[in-house]
Structure 1
Amino acid sequence: MDYTVLQVIWWALIGTLLIGFALTDGFDMGACVLLPFVARNDTERRVVVNAVGATWEGNQVWFVTAGGATFAAWPRVYATAFSGFYIALLLVLFALFFRPVGFDYRGKVSDPRWRGFWDWALFGGSLVPALVFGVAFGNLLQGVPFEFDADLRSTYTGSFFALLNPFALLCGLVSLCMLVTHGAALLQLKTDGAVRARAARAQRWAGLLGLVLFVLAGVWVATALAGFRAQDNGTAVAAVGAWMDNYARWPAMLVAPLLGVLGLAGAAALSGRHSGTAGFLSSSAGIIGIILTAGFSMFPFIMPSSTDTAHSLTVWNSTSSPLTLEIMLFAVVVFLPIILAYTSWVYKIMFGRVTSQAIETDRHTLY
């Protein structure tokens, strides 16, 4: 297969894995962020935990797979990102530790202080990754301060606190709002009574806030943010509004930001309706649109350099060999349908509402 085609295919596949992670583990994180606010007693908190308890562990496979695919398909991006974002990624990693421990340890002791501690651990272990992932994308859109020496060793010239700049924090809030909206939509599907009513209000306000922040970020990108533009000679230049070039070149890409806006607006408008399916699908569409917007805007850049634009990592200069990409593509063609089929079967088997009555009746096998 042509090398250029393989490079584009793997750009699309890694984007698909990130979307899969956001759609599945995203509602787990969103629901856990809402845990202290939509549940007022231990039974209600157990309802929220068990609403995601059957699938949360399998959902994280998307994140692990995306990391492995990045390592294999874009090794230079993987190495540069993990050296530059080292502290931020460690922060995410340690936060994620609290999720499996929180799910498994929360019900071991009936002491309210014990359970309260793990409730907040689940909250923090979900809030931090949801926020940091958006902050990371915000920094990618601004360019990352790194450069390569003569031996292609990368040097990161920034700092952890420099990552927490206004635009990156705005992107972090967009990420947090879209996942909270998604988590609230899931709780409407999986719970009833007071928890469901509170989740509906959370979905409405998170969706509206996410919509406003997403539009604000888009205006910032179009009018004030210095993006990057690839030159015909293989170099790159930074220019305000450069991230809008692809939409002028391929107008069909405008469907991505439109989907993001309509998805969040629909999720907010559909909150509290009798059927939560439409709201959940709408929040899913919003997530897909927001992630595609970032990918379409940056293509072919993966990790632009703000220190030296000539050192920017793109789809064309940072991928593995054709043989590696071909072998990996064969594995994807064989195993991805199996994974999707099994995941669909699990969701079908585990589908159903978690009620307070069921929690009170079954105190031993549920979380």
Structure 2
Amino acid sequence: MILVTGGAGFIGANFVLDWLASSDEPVLNLDKLSYAGNLHNLEGLRQDPRHRFVQGDIGDSALLAGLLAEHQPRAIVHFAAESHVDRSIHGPEDFIQTNIVGTFRLLEAVRRYGAALPDRARQGLRFLQVSTDEVYGSLAPREPAFAETRAFQPNSPYSASKAASDHLVRAWHHTYGLPVLTTHCSNNYGPLQFPEKLIPLMIVNALGGQPLPVYGDGLQRRDWLYVKDHCSAIRRVLEAGQVGHSYHIGGGNEQANIDIVHSICTLLDALRPRPDGQSYLSQIAHVQDRPGHDRRYAIDARKIGRELGWQPAETWASGIRKTVQWYLEHPQWVAQVQTGAYRDWVQTCYPQVPAADAADAAGEIRAAGSGA
């Protein structure tokens, strides 16, 4: 059995689904079910005996100790985190508690659990920390992509909290001998992503007839990784990664945010044209940039390719088409996650434009059926 933390969120749920589609090894799934944790993401596993879900907090030491002792997982894959930069600017304390204190308590629970295992089981134990390229700060336009040896220079409360958790993981390896692996990924996109992030927000707002808010000039550049490629890379690192090492996971798709928005509008123009015949591009609205917005991230993923033989399966063109298609075909999921609290959050982060209306957005998706 493996233990997955945060397995009801975007990347975690995709990982659990991917794992159980390719393996019979059971998953113990621990998730707090905060705003971005959604059991609807795991609907297909409701009757699957290989999946056990537990609602709980990684900061609950007693709960962790009990779960580890009862289920004795051979690996812990740690996704659980507060992960949105805008939310970290408006409310950093949640990020400190979950990403730093929560990771500390999880490490301590796993350390104690591992120490009590028989020698053979202890040698096979793995703790995989899922992290982000944002811990490295911002790249200059012509600067080489982030390599695993780059120093951390986080610039937001979110990235600082993830960098701190990465440092804890490294320290627990070097001080206590905990067998850890760390991955740093670029921007993920794909099915089940909560619509506070750029790509699903643009899709939902476009279909709801709302403005498409783009920070500043929209020229911030990111590398984009299809979530199912990320899942396959994590499986490979867990299978063959060298203990104590870090591995970068990227999609090889560095693009400016404004180009991402244009791609989405072009796809929607083809798959779900506006009733008035106008392009969704007309809904783009440039808004005031957020504080400390990093201009560029880029991932050097040659190490995982060279040492573990992993490469992404999706191109940008194939991945973004699959993503837009998924949102068009799942209006009920969109409606379920678009709560009043979410609309309040959109108003906080984008006060210059009205928030998307959940019912309108879902209705637009539903109107032409799911055959687009």
Using structure 1 for the length normalisation, give the TM-score: 0.28
The structure with the greater share of residues assigned to helix is 1
The structure with the greater share of residues assigned to strand is 2
Structure with the larger RCO, 1 or 2 (CA within 8 Å, 6+ apart) = 1
